Amino acid sequence: MLTRVLSARRRGALCRRSDVVEAWTALTVAVLLCLAAPLAGVLTTRWAYGDARAAADEQRAERHRVRAEVVERPSRARPASGSGGRNAVRAAVRWEAPDEGTRTTVARVPAHVRPGDTVHVWLDSGGREVLPPVDDASVWQYGVGMGTLAGGGTAAVLLLAHRAVRRVALRRRLEEWDRAWARTGPRWTHRGV
């Protein structure tokens, strides 16, 4: 159907090469928008998900969770930096390490705990407090977010390229019409005779 339209446009007296280029460009952009943008999004999602999954697995291997007892009352003056929750503060906690005996450190704890309460603390292999490993929902969110950005970016590049081609085609079409009018205009208006 599109071939018939394009061939009919080529036969018209006012049809210029720029019209044909513009029509084919529109068709190409439409096909690429339907194929390339989703493909870029899916491939980027798979790559980003795999990368985030590997990082999450590495974090799970390096970090472990222990039950610790709060030793001191959390100070409201020491808010936890980088805390996952809004109501987290820092306080001294104590736990039993299998080979090292009793250990103590300052860790993020909920603001409402009191000395003697039990909390869960994430530690690295050196016994330092760290954030919990990334959960599955965050891994999926990262993958889908990166895929959406890649698909949208691909679509934006295609649309900007199409707009640039249309501008050039319009400029050429107007120049061709001006040249054609310069040849036929004097015959119609009887000027310059």
Answer whether residue 31 is part of any domain.
Answer: yes
Which of 18-27, 28-37, 120-129 is predicted most confidently? 28-37
The C-alpha atoms of residue 122 and residue 91 are separated, in whole angstroms, by 14
Answer whether residue 36 is part of any domain.
Answer: yes
Q: Write out pLDDT tens, residues 67-105.
A: 888 888 776 655 555 545 557 888 888 888 777 778 888
73 with 128, same domain: the answer is: yes
Answer whether residue 188 is part of any domain.
Answer: no
Range of the domain at 91: 64-132
Tell which of 132, 157, 185 closes a domain. Answer: 132
41 with 101, same domain: the answer is: no
68 with 119, same domain: the answer is: yes
Number of domains in the chain: 2
Of the candidates 16, 7, 29, the one whose C-alpha atom is nearest the C-alpha of residue 171 is 16
DSSP string, 18-53: HHHHHHHHHHHHHHHHHHHHHHHHHHHHHHHHHHHH
70 with 125, same domain: the answer is: yes
Higher pLDDT, 172 or 9: 172
